[in-house]
Amino acid sequence: MPQVYVGDRQWSVASASNLLDALNQAGVAVPYSCRAGSCHACLVRCVQGEPLDALPLALTAGQRQQGWRLACQCRVVDDVRVEVFDPVRDGLPAHVAGHDWLGPHVLRLRVEPQRPLRYRAGQHQVLWTACGIARPYSLASLPGEDRFLEYHLDCRQPGAFCDVARQWQVGDALRLGELSGGALHYDPDWQERPLLLLAAGTGLGPLWGVLRDALQQEHQGPIRLLHLAPEPAGHYLANELAALVAQHPSLTVRQVTPDELPAALDELRLVSRRAMALVCGSPASVETFAKRLYLSGLPRSQLLADAFVTR
C-alpha cells in the first residue's frame, strides 16, 4: 500500500486514494471548497513522489515544477511526501482596509496586500485568517480602478471563517493564498454581443467586477444584469447599480425575489442567440439559470458558470 508522509508522520492508504481525503482523514487539515480544481483552496506541495493528477493544467508550469498540486484532483498511487500550504511561509501578508455591511447578511471585505497583486475581475482568492482558517472567495474589485481587493461574504449562516470575519476591524492582519482563474471574466472579443449577467445572492460580487470591466472597456452590445435574492433586503449595491444604469443607456438591471424569478427568466427568450451569459450563485440557482438559457436557445459554449459551494 502507498505511504503518505507529512512532517514526521507516516501512514498507509489504499492505492488510488484521493490525496485530499487521505490527508484530512488522517487529521492533516487541508482546506477545500469546490473539489473540482477551480477554487485552489486545497493546494499542497509534493516534495517526493508523484501522485496521479487528473487536472494538471489547472496550475501553471512554474507551480507544478515547484511541486504544487491540487489535492482534490490527485490520487495516491506511490509513496508521496507532502507539505501542506503554510500561510505564514507561502501566503502574502495583507490587512483589512474596509469592513462594512451591504445588507443584513452581506459583509463587504476590502483588503490591501503588502505588495501589488496582479489579478482580473471574477478570479478566486483563498483568504487565511490569523488562526489558520482558509476560505476561497471571488474578487469583486476591478484592477486599475480599485486600490483594494474586495470580497462579498455571505454571512447568513454561521461558519468558521465568517465567524472570524464578522469580528475583524480595519488594520487587522490576514494572509492571501492562491489566486486562481475562476470561470467568470470579460473578453473584449464580446464587444458587439449582448451580455447577460445572472447572479444569485453574493454571486453578484464577481459579476459586479466583471460588469465594471465591460463598461470600462466600452462594451457596445446591450447588457442585462439579473440579481436574485431571497428577500428584497438582499438586493445589495442597488444604489451603485442604479448609478451605472444612469450613466450607461445600454445597461438594464433587474432585482428579483424567488416569486418574481420565473417572469424575469421568461424575458430571456427574447435575447439574441449571440449573447454571452455569465452565471454565478448557489449550485441550485446556477442550474435554474442555465436550464432557462439553454431552453431559450443559448448554445452551451456561450455560458460561463461559477457555482458557490458551501460546506
pLDDT band at 270 (very low <50, low <70, confident <90, very high): low
Tell me how far apart the alpha carbons of residues 88 and 68 are, in angstroms, rounded to a whole number: 16
More confident residue, 267 or 272: 267
Give the mean model confidence (pLDDT) for residues 242-270.
Answer: 93
More confident residue, 41 or 67: 67
Helix (H, G, I), strand (E, B) or coil at 76: strand
Identify which of 108, 166, 163, 170 has the alpha carbon closest to the alpha carbon of residue 137: 108
Task: Please report, rounded to a whole number, the percentage of residues in the chain having pLDDT higher than 90.
Answer: 83
- Contact indicator for 134, 87 with CB cutoff of 8 Å: yes
List, for residues 191-232, the tens digit of each pLDDT value.
999 999 999 999 999 999 999 999 999 999 999 999 999 999
Entry pTM: 0.90
Identify which of 9, 150, 40 has the alpha carbon closest to the alpha carbon of residue 20: 40
**3-state secondary structure string across 96-118:** EEEEEECCCCEEEEEEEECCCCC
List of residues 6+ apart from 298 with CB closer than 8 A: 271, 273, 275, 277
Q: Write down the pLDDT at residue 178.
A: 86
Identify which of 275, 121, 289 has the alpha carbon closest to the alpha carbon of residue 199: 289
pLDDT band at 181 (very low <50, low <70, confident <90, very high): confident
Give the mean model confidence (pLDDT) for residues 33-55.
Answer: 89
- pLDDT of 311 higher than 70: no
- pLDDT of 241 higher than 80: yes
Supply the angle between the helices 204-216 and 238-247 in degrees, to the nearest 10: 20
For residue 233, what is its C-alpha cell? 433586503
Identify which of 183, 272, 285, 289 has the alpha carbon closest to the alpha carbon of residue 234: 285
Provide the b/e sequence for 189-204 (b: ≥16 CB within 10 Å): ebeebbbbbbbbbbbb
| Paired sense of beta strands 106-113 and 92-101, if any | antiparallel
Average model confidence (pLDDT) for the chain?
A: 93
List, for residues 122-164, the tens digit of each pLDDT value.
999 999 999 889 999 999 999 999 999 999 999 998 889 999 9
Q: From residue 290, give the alpha-carbon distance in Å to each of 241, 267, 276, 306.
A: 23, 14, 12, 11
Identify which of 168, 181, 158, 183 has the alpha carbon closest to the alpha carbon of residue 131: 168
Identify which of 47, 65, 48 has the alpha carbon closest to the alpha carbon of residue 56: 65
For residue 208, what is its C-alpha cell? 459586479
List, for residues 65-114, the tens digit of each pLDDT value.
999 999 999 999 999 999 998 999 999 999 999 999 999 999 999 999 99
- Domains (ranges, CATH) in the chain? 3-85 (3.10.20.30), 90-180 (2.40.30.10), 188-307 (3.40.50.80)
Q: Return the beta strands (E) in 201-288 as ranges.
A: 223-228, 251-256, 276-281
More confident residue, 213 or 38: 213
- pLDDT of 41 higher than 90: no
